[in-house]
Structure 1
Amino acid sequence: MLGFPCVLTAICYWYDIQYPFKPSLLLVGDEMGGVHVLQFLNPTRGLFKNVTISKKEHGLQRIYLHHLRDHEGTVSYRYIPGVHQDPVNRIIFESGTKVIMTSSESSLTSVVFFNMSEKLNQYIWKVRGGVTCFDYNARLQLIVTGSSDCVVRMWARYVTTRPVATLLGHHATVLDVAIYQPLEQIFSYSRDAELRVWDITIHECLKIVRLHFPCLQAAQISEHGNFPLLLLSPPLPDETRPHLLVGCKDYLALLSLSEKQRGGSRAGGLAHQLGECGVKVVLSCALHNPSLQQVVTGSTDSTVCVWDLNTGKKKLHISNAHGEEELSCMTLDSSQRRLITGAHNGTIKVWNLLNGLNLHKLQPLLSTVTGLLWLHSDHLVAVGLSHCIVEYDLATSKDLHVKAKSSWKSSIRQQSDIMALCHCPAMDIIAMATQGEVIVWKLETQMPFLHLCKETSSGEVPAVDCLIFLQHRAVNQFLRHKGVLVSSQAGFTCFWSITGEKHTYGHFYAPEQSDERVLALSSNQSENTLLVSGDTLGWLQVWDIAHFGLHVQDQVVSERPTLLHRWRAHSGALLSVEVLEMAERVFILSASDDGSAGLWTLDGDHVGLFGQEALWNLTDPCTFQADSDMQGSLTEERSDMPRRPSPEPCGTGGQTSQGDSPCGKIEQEHQGPQPAMVTQHSLFNLHSIVAYKCNTCLFTV
């Protein structure tokens, strides 16, 4: 169509999906704030009357606005002037109530709802500076607006005086918003190519996705057009999945969406299992804060969550702690009021655990942070994949940015990457795990004094996955010269002495299957009678080590200590386990790369997963998940059960049948509580984001 009196700035086409032969509407907004309404009476037969087309027009039918009277049988036209004082930037038609919804950057008429008949009163929302975009959902009776002030606002359908919620976080003009009703979430997209996902219920940002379009250049304003978002949501044709398209210049980003909840809890959800927006996220670290009775978890999507240990409820949520970088490790300061996190890009940050405030950003000198250690003098030691040790002095620092000290006193650079770090205050030493050995350092001299290495029968030196000090043995003068350091290499758990000429004090293969690894170790540090190990198949084992590691052993394969309990805690590899001693009871904290963190009793009863809907009470076992028929019965391995012989050391080719249990019987595998596959926060899979380059506009793709 041609011949409009002014520039057209917004468009909306509506038709009845169930009855496509019924009249359809074309709504067009212009730069004068008016709305053009074209109703096509029989769209399936044609929008206009057939007109003879000349060869020069190449098959195009040109219809001029002032000639619409010649098409009265097929289309009707009406112009509604002065709806806004500024150009119309968005139009939506709500078919149920026959209401036309428009928006502009006018402060007096930011969003206007009016009936097609113009007989009913208008609803007018006023936002200082107007709005750049809006979306409406009839089922939720919700309006969402975006503005040049970088704010996303949620409004009730019939309340124009103030918003239901104000969503802050964008750093550039919000160009487009979209309501995803199946999961009650909101997409918002800003000029700096940042896509944010918001939860409608709790009014929180669930995820930030920065789209790296090839056409984006620093210090230049990107070309997005007036409608960068295109949300295709149910109902859709069969075998068509909902998805979101984001356009920038001649590129498109495609994000696949989940249609519905397929399990899980709406109240909190398993926040790490699928991230904060449904992306499959791996937990990378977890720890217990005994002072605040909290559990802190970190994930690969740079999210930090703080949970109440006594109930499993989330207390604090920090999104994008390190931008888009994966969290790699964390630790607490001596007061246990501050959290220190490290990421894969070498950045280190210090957080206030009471309010989530970022207190310090430490100068990055490592390529990837793999270990953090807070010393009693308010000094932080960091290690990583840069073959060096970095120290920070936080005792007197009040600045946000803290520089690293010149260097660790030792001038010896590591020959390999450092994978883990642990501290023994009683002996004033630290131990570092590398690709093939454990290096023990004296803190006083900052010099290494011991190298511990375990070779396989084939002569290979496997990487050290994790290590811990048995603190009670180190304090006890009769035990400190025994096996006080425990490491894991290729599935073998090794006990080491730090003093004397002989350092090998026993080792055994912990997993029940060959070629597996132990990624997490913990002990009850008050007595060191228990050792808890977690392997790559998600199995958690509790060992009696009260009398293990007290004598020098040179055998190739050592007898295993008594296995007290064993169960499969998670469906994925266990990345962290911790023994919690509380009020004469012992619990075990576990975190897995299946995205969940859970709590267990010592004998294997499942307390619950952090973030589940049903809260627990640690003083009332009736609230535990195992006692409420929410999981199957647990299989326990008792101390009086005969044990399966340990497999051959790595490299010998020893195999173990999956059907063999430690007692030589067929064992019913307990899978533990299986995390829900999709939660309330399920949205899109980041791996499905692809950029398309086209030579045509967004609407022709």
Structure 2
Amino acid sequence: NLLLLVTGGLDRLIRTWNPYVPGKPTGTLKGHSAPIFYLCISSEDNRIFSVSTDNMVKVGSFMLGYDPYTLITAHPKASLICGEMTACLYSSSVRALYVATDSISQLCLKTRPPPQGHLVMSHREPVLCCGYSEELHQVVSCSEQSVVKVWDCDTGTQVFEFGNAHGFSAISCLTFDSKGRRLITGGRDGSLKAWNFNNGQCLKIFREDGESHKVCDCAYLTVNRKSYVMSVGWDRRIHVYPVSVFLSGHKDDILCMALCPPTLLATGSHDGEVLVWNMVSGHLQCHILTPSPPDSSVVSSFTEKSRQMTAHSNLGFFFQSRLKRQITKMALSKQENWLYVADEVGYISVFEIDAYALVPDQQQTAPKGKKVFSLPTLNLPPGLLLTSSVDCTVRLWSIHGEFIGTFGQADRWSIHTPSSWQHPTAPHEVLIDPLSMPASLPLKTFHSPLSCSEGKTDCLP
């Protein structure tokens, strides 16, 4: 019914054809960087599935094409596809693509249902990062569709927004300059951009020549009265701008970084390595090999005045047997005595790191089943915690787990007036899912010295 043919080959291009007009392709789709290995058309979803020899999987609409209209790009590392590609198969019944390498991987195509009318959404798409400008007292959130929104932290109302910040690429990270008046965003297009985020003006673009790699984290640093913007990502380098130099030392993709002013920088990579750099000399200061399995990657890190903490996907380094879920973000309280750990399920666990980060104090939740991507606390007013998630929300909490509100809700709040907070009313997703509620402590067990012939114990209030 579609009257469409799709071909791909060694030139890395995908061509669409009208079978009745074979002389010229109707369209040419770009996006792959290796020869095309497998192609499939899913007519029920109007999708094209393509797999290249570098194990990269792309899902696009044949009505629009791929670049820049790619709907999904499944990176092999993120999708746990490793080894030489041998076979692929798309199953329309389960809407999944099976990829055979050293093992068989199943990539399911899941489309998000439209937001329900009773749910408050800060964005129309997943929120990947958020931050707080102490100077302007504003919260900035960035989404998967490259939309930047600015919020008033005092009331939760939207101040400004602008789109297409990185074209059609998602914004994966953000930071502010030392004064908190300029926003720096990093995108999956491999670029960093500096913004006046109160009017949407792009002030400068930082990008290396050559192939673009996803930016995973960025930071702003001042050394010897000179300011630098830095980024890390899938090209395994630490880029330092505006002098356009880079530090090289990791053997795998760099996923996160943390500053320890005035001179130290720590970076963590997919293979579990942590490197500490001297930013004045540019030399490697320390190399930490963590006692973790080889498939453990560093996904979040932070620095204290006296020590460095790093979280791994299997939690073998600091939180052994305490949590069973992958960590997505960590943040410190201003007093550096509490550690807030967000995981892929949506829980935020609180650890007292004065006790070596081994005993969780309490557990509060963002919506269950929604990965928490950003968790800033350091620059926020005292007693506040800011979260963003793939459920399209940006929320404000007290550090004791009290829910203040969702940015964009109809009712304004005042952070100085607890009676205006949503607490004790929890977010709707938490209310309807009992597994999302904090676990209660068990009652104390009493052992009676008495017994009876039936072997039965009774009690009265």
The normalised TM-score by structure 1 is: 0.44
Structure 2 residue aligned with 1:313: 157
Shift of 1:509: 4.2
Structure 2 residue aligned with 1:535: 343
Residue identity matched to 1:466: S
Shift of 1:461: 4.5
Residue 330 of structure 2 is aligned with which of 495, 500, 521? 521
Gaps of 5+ in 2: 1-59, 68-110, 444-461
CA distance in 2, matches of 1:537, 1:429: 32
CA distance in 1, matches of 2:253, 2:333: 29
Shift of 1:415: 1.4
SS at match of 1:594: coil
SS at match of 2:178: coil
- Structure-2 change in CA distance of 1:510 and 1:302 (3 Å): farther
- Structure-2 change in CA distance of 1:361 and 1:331 (3 Å): same
- Structure-2 change in CA distance of 1:542 and 1:349 (3 Å): same
Residue 330 of structure 1 is aligned with which of 174, 182, 198? 174
SS at match of 1:575: strand
- Structure-2 change in CA distance of 1:304 and 1:452 (3 Å): same
CA distance in 2, matches of 1:419, 1:627: 36
Residue 266 of structure 2 is aligned with which of 431, 434, 441? 431
CA distance in 1, matches of 2:265, 2:379: 24
Residue 626 of structure 1 is aligned with which of 406, 423, 446? 423
Structure 2 residue aligned with 1:224: none
Structure 2 residue aligned with 1:575: 373
Structure 1 residue aligned with 2:298: 464
Shift of 1:291: 1.4
SS at match of 1:492: coil
Residue 617 of structure 1 is aligned with which of 414, 417, 440? 414
Residue identity matched to 2:333: N
Residue 137 of structure 2 is aligned with which of 276, 290, 293? 293
CA distance in 1, matches of 2:126, 2:148: 12
Shift of 1:262: 3.9
Pairs within 5 Å for 1:166-177 = none
SS at match of 1:622: helix
1:586-629 Cα shifts (integer Å, max 9, x gaps): 11111112221111112211001111111111111111011468
CA distance in 1, matches of 2:438, 2:385: 25
- Structure-2 change in CA distance of 1:453 and 1:660 (3 Å): farther
CA distance in 1, matches of 2:133, 2:316: 26
The normalised TM-score by structure 2 is: 0.65
Pairs within 5 Å for 1:227-376 = 262-264=116-118, 270-272=121-123, 275=124, 281-365=125-209, 366-376=212-222
Aligned length: 331
CA distance in 1, matches of 2:165, 2:417: 35
Structure 1 residue aligned with 2:447: none
The answer on whether the counterparts of 1:510 and 1:518 sit within 8 Å (CA) in structure 2 is no
Residue identity matched to 2:281: T
1:675-695 Cα shifts (integer Å, max 9, x gaps): xxxxxxxxxxxxxxxxxxxxx
Shift of 1:316: 1.4
Residue identity matched to 1:577: L
CA distance in 1, matches of 2:437, 2:162: 43
Pairs within 5 Å for 1:59-70 = none
Residue identity matched to 2:367: H
The answer on whether the counterparts of 1:370 and 1:420 sit within 8 Å (CA) in structure 2 is yes
Rg (Cα) greater in structure? 1
The answer on whether the counterparts of 1:522 and 1:578 sit within 8 Å (CA) in structure 2 is yes
1:407-438 Cα shifts (integer Å, max 9, x gaps): 23x5x453111100111004x11011101211
- Structure-2 change in CA distance of 1:463 and 1:338 (3 Å): same
SS at match of 2:423: helix
- Structure-2 change in CA distance of 1:212 and 1:374 (3 Å): farther
The answer on whether the counterparts of 1:371 and 1:420 sit within 8 Å (CA) in structure 2 is yes
Residue identity matched to 2:199: N
Residue identity matched to 1:289: S
1:236-260 Cα shifts (integer Å, max 9, x gaps): xxxxxxxxxxxxxxxxxxxx999x9
CA distance in 2, matches of 1:215, 1:424: 41
The answer on whether the counterparts of 2:388 and 2:395 sit within 8 Å (CA) in structure 1 is yes
Residue identity matched to 1:464: V
CA distance in 2, matches of 1:451, 1:580: 26
Residue identity matched to 2:122: A
The answer on whether the counterparts of 2:176 and 2:183 sit within 8 Å (CA) in structure 1 is yes
The answer on whether the counterparts of 1:580 and 1:589 sit within 8 Å (CA) in structure 2 is no
Aligned identity (percent) is 23
Structure 1 residue aligned with 2:449: none
1:205-235 Cα shifts (integer Å, max 9, x gaps): xxxx99964699xxxxxxxxxxxxxxxxxxx
Shift of 1:388: 1.8
Higher strand share: 2
Shift of 1:460: 2.8
- Structure-2 change in CA distance of 1:443 and 1:566 (3 Å): same
Residue 256 of structure 2 is aligned with which of 420, 438, 441? 420
Residue identity matched to 1:524: S
Residue identity matched to 1:430: L
- Structure-2 change in CA distance of 1:603 and 1:271 (3 Å): closer
Residue 362 of structure 2 is aligned with which of 565, 587, 606? 565
CA distance in 2, matches of 1:286, 1:440: 25
1:566-592 Cα shifts (integer Å, max 9, x gaps): 122123011111225766x41111111
Shift of 1:492: 1.6
- Structure-2 change in CA distance of 1:521 and 1:453 (3 Å): same
Structure 1 residue aligned with 2:236: 387
- Structure-2 change in CA distance of 1:335 and 1:380 (3 Å): same
Structure 1 residue aligned with 2:49: none
CA distance in 1, matches of 2:66, 2:390: 35
Shift of 1:363: 2.6
Pairs within 5 Å for 1:189-204 = none
Which moved further from structure 2: 572-581 or 329-338? Answer: 572-581
- Structure-2 change in CA distance of 1:620 and 1:302 (3 Å): same
